[in-house]
């Protein structure tokens, strides 16, 4: 298994990505930034993870928002 030194998500679980974003933005704002029902209608980490694992485009948007929000390269 190769290491991924340039991947800011390496070693970060999807659950942690969702929890970090919810703690930072809250469900309401997160649902406005990424328009998926898992973030807007009765949101929970569990339901969001189920949806994101089945829906590659939504997972990509969520991961990109996490990188934009929390990954500070070369600071």
| pLDDT per position as a tens digit, 17-64 | 999 999 999 999 999 999 999 999 999 999 999 999 999 999 999 999
Residue in this structure with the two tokens 């942690």, named with its chain if needed: 16
Token pair of 28, please?
Answer: 């309401």
Question: Collapsing DSSP states into helix, strand and coil, what is residue 19?
Answer: helix
Token pair of 21, please?
Answer: 């974003």
DSSP 8-state assignment for residue 28: H
62 class by beta-carbon count within 10 Å (0-12 exposed, 13-18 middle, 19+ buried): buried
Residue 75 is predicted with a pLDDT of 45
Per CATH, is 18-67 categorized as 3.40.50.620?
no
């Amino acid at each position: 298994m190769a290491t991924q030194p340039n991947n800011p998500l390496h070693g970060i679980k999807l659950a942690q990505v969702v929890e970090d974003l919810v703690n930072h933005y809250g469900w309401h704002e997160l649902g406005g930034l990424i328009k998926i029902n898992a973030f807007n209608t009765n949101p929970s980490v569990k339901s969001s993870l189920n949806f994101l694992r089945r829906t590659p485009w939504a997972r990509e948007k969520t991961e990109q928002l996490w990188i934009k929000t929390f990954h500070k390269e070369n600071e």
